[in-house]
Amino acid sequence: MLYMALLFLSSLIAVFLIVVSARTFIHWKSHIPVGLYAKALRAENNGNFEEAITAYEILLSQCRRVRFQKAFKNKIIGKVKLLHTIIEYNNSSRFVR
């Protein structure tokens, strides 16, 4: 009886580990929407900073679901901070003239 309980427990643990590793692999290989990143980059290059910020924030919210994109997420956060700084600078320079 003890042998059957240990066999059941070990098989349950094995199935749990397989499910967790498969889910991790699927999330690791999932791609972030490249089209949205291209749209945000295009808007940033055209000077539409508000539109670029909204696209980057949408992309950032989608990246938070995927845990393995840490470097890309940090890059987007840096771009959003930089765009906010540029917008503040442009708004403050208008009042000086």
Domain with 8, as residue range(s), is 1-30
At residue 66, the pLDDT reads 66
Please give the tally of structural domains in the chain: 2
The angle, 0 to 180 degrees and rounded to 10, between the axes of the packed helices 49-63 and 34-46 is 160
At residue 51, the pLDDT reads 95
Q: Which two tokens stand for residue 69?
A: 């994109």
Cβ(73)–Cβ(81) under 8 Å? Answer: no
Q: Are residues 42 and 78 in the same domain?
A: yes
Cβ(55)–Cβ(39) under 8 Å? Answer: yes
At residue 31, the pLDDT reads 67
> 39-94, pLDDT tens digit by residue?
999 999 999 999 999 999 998 888 776 666 788 889 999 999 999 999 999 888 76
Query: What DSSP designation does 44 have?
Result: H
pTM over 0.95: no
- Distance, CA of 65 to CA of 85 (rounded, Å): 27
Q: Are residues 19 and 37 in the same domain?
A: no
> 11-25, pLDDT tens digit by residue?
999 999 999 988 877
